[in-house]
Amino acid sequence: MAAGTALALLTALAHVAVAAQKTAPLAQKNPPRASKSAPFGPQSGVQGARNPTDLKTVLYYAADALGMLRGAREDDLILTMQIWATGTMNVGGQPCKLANYLASIRYPTAGRQKVPVPAMRVDFACSGANGRPGPRQIQVVADKYAWNEAKPGIGATPAPGVVNDRLLDLWTLFPESVIKAARAAGAETKLTFEGAAPVVTFPLPAPLSSATMKATLDPRIFRVDANPAGVKREYSHLIERTETRFGPRVIEVTYSDYGDWNDEDLKSMVLLPRHIVAKQGGVATLNLAITKTDTYNPYVIMPLPASLEKAAGQ
């Protein structure tokens, strides 16, 4: 090939390359980042309601709405949760403005990794007069035992007089607990209606078998999703409130503003109410505003302290 011809060819190729760079779409040079998923909560503009009259379907809709049913068999795979919040609570009969609050919950499970008893650890501090966090308080309950800790799993001090109080918190404060308790009660769980609202009534798990909970659900559809094939799935029957009677005590809990409060890149489609308000005798004993959750079955353990285990054996 003559030198002049080769030079002309190289020059033409160079012009083509420059032109290609100038006309290349910006998206190819800087591909857009994948959009983050939106919280799996209520959608605006959704209308309608579902009105099953059998208990099995009502409990299925409620568990499905909360994101508890997973896998092809739709098993309840919520085993543990952690919930961070701010707000106020009653501590030893005194009001406490929460400087921090972390509830860690472990539910009973079956199968190979069987955990026979429920447990909950609440790690919190109250704000002092200067606005700074006061002493750290860690309250734990597991089965029929309660204790306090200096640090998680360390420095246990028995607290036998508050077992029922802490178990009541475990089963009443969070909707997932309510559905698990209703399912665990089996044939003792009953369905009635107050107007269009389904009401599920059942005894709480032992040792609170004498406590009766009444859960009121909202039959309105709050979300409609579609899979790639265009098949739609509706969600309804979120829990609005519960009323638990335990001896002379009446505990009322309301739940509102449901959403997926996991970190933005760890959305799990498990719903919890942003706001939880508990009352006894008409007086608020707890008012939580959830700031973050971990619903991917975080590592949560509450082993019975050796001192309590020894006392239990004796």
Delineate the domains of the chain, giving CATH numbers in brackets. 55-309 (2.50.20)
In 10 A of CB 302, how many CB atoms?
A: 22
Pairwise pLDDT comparison (217 vs 38), residue with the higher score: 217
Query: Is the predicted pLDDT of residue 32 greater than 90, yes or no?
Result: no
Query: Is the predicted pLDDT of residue 23 greater than 70, yes or no?
Result: no
Cα(252)–Cα(175) distance, rounded to whole angstroms?
13
Give the rounded distance of the alpha carbon of 69 from its chain centre.
Answer: 13
Give the mean model confidence (pLDDT) for residues 268-274: 95
pLDDT of residue 111: 53
Mean pLDDT rounded to a whole number for the chain: 86
Q: 110-119, 149-158, 178-187: which range is least confident on average?
A: 110-119
Cα(140)–Cα(148) distance, rounded to whole angstroms?
6
Token match 């369905």: residue? 191
Cα(182)–Cα(298) distance, rounded to whole angstroms?
24
Pairwise pLDDT comparison (312 vs 13), residue with the higher score: 312
Pairwise pLDDT comparison (312 vs 253), residue with the higher score: 253
pLDDT of residue 22: 39
**β partners of residue 190:** 201
Instruction: Give φ, ψ of 278 to 5 degrees.
Output: -115, 140
Pairwise pLDDT comparison (32 vs 151), residue with the higher score: 151
Query: Is the predicted pLDDT of residue 91 greater than 60, yes or no?
Result: yes
pLDDT of residue 117: 83
